Structure 1
Amino acid sequence: MLDTHARKYVQPLIGKSADILLKVGLNANQVTTISFFIGVSSGLFIYFEYELAALIVLWFSGFLDAVDGSMARKTKSSAWGTLLDVSFDRLVEISVILGLAFRYPDSMWALLLLSVSIIYAMTIFLTVGALSEKKGIKSFYYQAGLAERTEGFILFSLMIIFTEYLTLLTLLFLVVEVFTTLQRLAEARKIMKDI
């Protein structure tokens, strides 16, 4: 929801950052890879109880993830770049979940359910993107929903900060993911009328 509706407010900063990184000679795929390595370190910081560091690297990687897309649109986007971007995003999320699960094993069952919901939500998202003839500014059709990447980062941040409520916050995230999946399924039904 925020990625879709609030992007216009941060796009000037994202665009300017993209211009700077292009000027210094980086390309979108290189920034995607840098974003991945920064973001995936968040799980280690969580596990070793460096919560502030985990939050900083998580959000910085999310910012670079937005910048790399702007860089690709300013130059030449590629199918390989899209694959890297989507798969690296999931690995960063997995890193956060694993860091929390190993640090707080009492919440592992809820984190496992959240992981399953993210897998299913992304399966719907990517399948609709692949099957839809609609296109947006991205290289595939982007289905908006209640839970987009920014909402996920907000919920992950709450889970990292308020660990005494980790199970409850994880279950809240699960509900948001399930709702988003149902939203996307309903939209997919309208898009794919031949089903």
Structure 2
Amino acid sequence: MLDTKARKLVEPLINKSARSLLNFGLSANQVTWLAFIIGLTTGFFIYLDHFLLAIILLWLSGFLDTVDGSMAREINEPTSWGTLIDITFDRVVELSFIIGLALRFPEIQFSLLLMCASIILSMTVFLTVGLLSEKEGIKSFYYQAGLMERSEGFILFTLMLLFWEGIFVITLFYAGAVLFTALQRMLEARKLLK
């Protein structure tokens, strides 16, 4: 929801950062890789109890992940390969974070398993609708908005580490919100895909 509704508020910062990185000589795919590598470290830092560092790196990774697409559009060179690695790397970063939580908090592995299952279901609907839809948006595929998008996921990831005493409840809420989003997307898809 925030990725869709609030993006216009941070768009000037994203575009300025995109132009700066392009002027620095970086390509969109290089920034995608940089965001991936930074995000991949979050699970390791969670395991080591460096929660604040994991949160900072998660958000830096997410910001760069937003900037890379703006870079590609700025020079009018969005590619299917860039879209593929972007979406794939997003999921791997999320998995790194979740695996770090599972190793650090083994007592909540059941709720983390529910989170993973809900993500798989929601992403299956999201990607399938994007593939089957003839509509296109700002991205190189049809972006189906929903209650839980990446920003909401990052907010809940952050809350899991800031308020780790309530992590079980937060992870269950996360799973429920993602399942709701999958249902929301299915209902929209039913109207869209005739």
The TM tier, using the shorter chain, reads: over 0.9
Query: Residue 188 of structure 2 aligns with which residue?
Result: 187
After the TM superposition, which residues 4-83 of structure 1 pair with which residues of structure 2 at under 5 Å, given as runs?
A: 4-75=4-75, 76-83=77-84
* Structure 1: segments with no counterpart, 5+ residues: none
CA distance in 2, matches of 1:16, 1:41: 26
| SS of residue paired to 1:140 | coil
Cα drift, residue 161 of structure 1: 1.4
SS in 2 for 1:147: coil
Q: Which runs of 5+ in 2 are unaligned?
A: none
Paired residue for 2:160? Answer: 159
How far apart are the structure 1 equivalents of 2:133 and 2:72? 22
Map residues 125-164 of structure 1 onto 2, 5 A cutoff. Answer: 125-164=126-165
How much has 1:3 moved relative to structure 2? 0.4
Q: Secondary structure at the match of 1:102?
A: helix
Shift of 1:36: 0.2
State the shift of 1:163 in Å: 1.2
Q: Which residue does 1:100 correspond to in 2?
A: 101
CA–CA separation in structure 2 for the residues paired with 1:160 and 1:88: 22
* Cα distance in 2, alignment partners of residues 159 and 95 from structure 1: 14
Q: CA RMSD in A?
A: 0.5
Mapped partners of 1:100, 1:34: distance in 2: 22
Alignment-mate amino acid for residue 87 of structure 1: T
Mapped partners of 2:163, 2:97: distance in 1: 14
CA distance in 2, matches of 1:156, 1:107: 14
TM-score relative to the length of structure 2: 0.99
| Residue identity in the other structure for 2:172 | L
- AA aligned to 2:81 is W
- Letter aligned with residue 78 of structure 1: T
Runs of 4+ in 1 over 4 A off after TM superposition: none
Aligned length, in residue pairs: 193
Residues in 2 aligned to 1:86 and 1:98: alpha-carbon distance in whole angstroms: 18
Q: Which amino acid aligns with 2:65?
A: D
Q: Distance in 2 between matches of 1:103 and 1:186?
A: 37
Deviation at 1:162, TM superposition (A): 1.2
Residue aligning to 2:118: 117
- Normalised to the residue count of structure 1, the TM-score between the two structures is 0.98
> Could you tell which deviates more after superposition, 159-168 or 11-20?
159-168
Distance 1:110 1:137 in 2: 34
Matched residues in 1 for 2:69 and 2:45: separation?
A: 26
Indicate the larger mover: 29-38 or 160-169: 160-169
